[in-house]
């Protein structure tokens, strides 16, 4: 049986079945025809199946009852083999599982403190804020820092950058790597970029993401931005519910991938005018309730005085909501606001 960072999570389980999580061979009732249908929606392994929703299988032409049964079977197999935790856990077991969660440093200690150590695996972190507040810059910095060894705050792993706004800049990765004393060419090889042209393309890329994570040994995935194509492709109130439904499915897929593959996912989001705001901030994150509930953590960014940026965590179950981090965008990526310029 292959061993992955995910595999190690289940080592506490005593009775384990030998299951190949990277194929579909251990599933009952799956022949070549079904395999082909599953492949058409990006499902090639038990891991992919456990991260999919039955709805996606139905879209591939699989009968609804069988779709549910297959998704369930995948989960049961992953649980019995120790790759996934069981459905019911004690608080102690949940705490144990959270120990397998890892963090990636942003390279900026105030931001890391705000995030309680960095960006978490098994979670989707949303960076939201107005243009120029540093969302894309933080994503670039993380593409470099995820490649650092663990003792330096990274995961010695690759990054996947899903670029919807054509703002990925290899030159910037090069600059950050060089300023941090790393080999820029090697770091650039560790970043895989997918340029995405519309919302259907984004859904397709997200569907195939499991395979890419495996192939490139990635532990960090960024979608910059999660919302722009959906907003452009579904204009008008009459299309809003379809847009939200597609956005929701995409976010769910990302969250399940993050959990099952033990990777950190970061998505960026814009702000829109909030006509309902009488006091304070006249903007709000776009994407409505779907984005508000579909991500694990929401980090709000804004411009501060003297070219600084300010980050704050909104609605987190365990981060203090009144804490703010001040940082600056520098050649090293992002750094504390009081670091030398």
Ligand X SMILES: Nc1ncnc2c1ncn2[C@@H]1O[C@H](COP(=O)(O)OP(=O)(O)OP(=O)(O)O)[C@@H](O)[C@H]1O
| Site for Mg ion contains 269 (CB under 5 A) | no
Q: Of 133 and 221, which has the nearer Cβ to ligand X?
A: 133
Select from 141-149, 199-207, 232-240, 327-335 the region that touches ligand X (CB under 6 A): 327-335
> Based on CB atoms, which residue is closest to ligand X, 48 or 224?
224
Tell me how crowded residue 309 is: count the other CB atoms within 10 A of its CB: 24
Mask: binding to ligand X, 155-194, rule CB under 6 A, as x and -? ------------x-------x-------------------
Select from 11, 25, 63, 331 the one that contacts ligand X (CB under 6 A). 331
Q: How far is the CB of 292 from ligand X (least distance, A)?
A: 18
Q: How far is CA 32 from CA 36, 38, 39, 52, 296, in A?
A: 6, 10, 10, 19, 37
Determine, following the binding rule CB under 6 A, whether residue 270 of this chain makes contact with ligand X. yes
Q: How far is CA 287 from CA 228, 240, 241, 275, 293, in A?
A: 10, 10, 11, 15, 10
- Residue 29 is classified by DSSP as T
Total number of residues binding ligand X (CB under 6 A)? 14
Closest CB 135 distance from Mg ion, rounded Å: 5
CA dihedral sign, ordered 45, 46, 48, 54: positive
CA distance 72 to 76: 6
User: Residue 221 binds which entry of ligand X, Mg ion, none, with Cβ cut-offs from 5 to 8 Å by kind?
Assistant: none
158 binds, among Mg ion, ligand X, none (CB under 5 to 8 A by kind): none
Residue 318 binding result from ligand X, Mg ion, none, given CB thresholds of 5 to 8 Å by partner type: none
132 vs 273, which CB is nearer to ligand X? 132
Short-list 45, 12, 13, 19, CA closest to 260: 45
Total number of residues shown for the chain: 341
What minimum distance in Å lies between the beta carbon of 334 and ligand X?
A: 9
* Residue 54 DSSP SS3: helix
Q: What is the 3-state secondary structure (H, E, C) of 135-201?
A: HHHHHHHHHHHCCCCHHHCCCCCEEEEEECCCCCCHHHHHHHHHHCCCCHHHHHHCEEEEECCCHHH
Window of 24-32, 69-77, 252-260, 323-331 that interacts with ligand X by CB under 6 A: 323-331
Near Mg ion in 115-134, by CB under 5 A? none
Query: What's the Cα-to-Cα distance from 261 to each of 15, 227, 283, rounded to whole Å?
Result: 22, 23, 34
- Is residue 330 a contact residue for ligand X (CB under 6 A)? yes
Contacts of ligand X in 106-135 (CB under 6 A): 129, 131-135
What's the CA gap between 40 and 60, in Å, rounded? 7
Q: Which residue carries 């022949």 as its tokens?
A: 31
Peptide linkage before 225 cis (omega within 30 of 0):
yes
Pattern of binders to Mg ion over 160-199, x per CB under 5 A?
Answer: -------x--------------------------------
**Number of other residues whose CB lies within 10 A of the CB of residue 272:** 15
- Our finding on whether 340 is near ligand X (CB under 6 A) is no
Contact with Mg ion (CB under 5 A) among 81, 105, 121, 136: 136
Contact 271, 286 (CB under 8 A): yes
Report the residue from 125, 136, 147, 269 that binds ligand X according to the rule CB under 6 A. 136
Tell me: does residue 269 bind ligand X (CB under 6 A): no
| Residue ranges that bind ligand X, judged by CB under 6 A | 129, 131-137, 167, 175, 270, 329-331
């Amino acid at each position: 049986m292959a061993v992955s960072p995910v595999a190690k999570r289940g080592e506490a389980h005593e009775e384990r079945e030998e299951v190949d999580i990277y194929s579909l061979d251990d599933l009952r009732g799956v022949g070549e025809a079904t395999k082909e249908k599953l492949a058409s929606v990006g499902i090639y392994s038990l891991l992919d199946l456990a991260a999919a929703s039955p709805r996606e299988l139905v879209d591939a032409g699989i009968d609804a009852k069988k779709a549910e049964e297959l998704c369930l079977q995948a989960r049961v197999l992953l649980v019995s083999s120790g790759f996934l935790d069981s459905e019911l856990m004690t608080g102690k077991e949940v705490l144990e599982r959270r120990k397998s969660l890892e963090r990636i440093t942003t390279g900026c200690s105030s931001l890391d403190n705000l995030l309680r150590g960095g960006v978490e695996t098994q979670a989707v972190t949303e960076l939201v804020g107005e243009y120029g507040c540093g969302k894309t810059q933080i994503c670039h910095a993380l593409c470099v820092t995820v490649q650092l060894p663990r003792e330096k705050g990274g995961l010695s792993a690759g990054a996947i950058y899903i670029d919807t706004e054509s703002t990925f800049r290899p030159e910037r990765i090069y600059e950050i790597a060089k300023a941090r004393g790393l080999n820029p060419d090697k770091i650039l090889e560790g970043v895989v970029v997918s340029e995405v042209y519309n919302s259907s393309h984004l859904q397709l890329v997200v569907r195939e993401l499991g395979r890419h994570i495996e192939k490139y040994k990635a532990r960090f995935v960024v979608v910059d931005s999660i919302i722009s194509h959906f907003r452009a492709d579904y204009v008008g109130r009459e299309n809003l519910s379809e847009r939200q439904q597609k956005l929701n499915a995409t976010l769910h897929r990302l969250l399940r991938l993050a959990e099952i593959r033990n990777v950190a996912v970061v998505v960026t989001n814009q702000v829109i005018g909030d006509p309902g705001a009488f006091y304070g901030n006249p903007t709000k994150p776009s994407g409505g309730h779907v984005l508000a509930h579909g991500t694990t953590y929401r980090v709000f960014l804004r411009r501060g005085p003297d070219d600084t940026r300010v980050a704050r965590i909104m609605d987190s179950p365990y981060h203090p909501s009144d804490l703010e981090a001040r940082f600056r965008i520098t050649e090293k990526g992002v750094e504390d606001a009081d670091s030398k310029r």
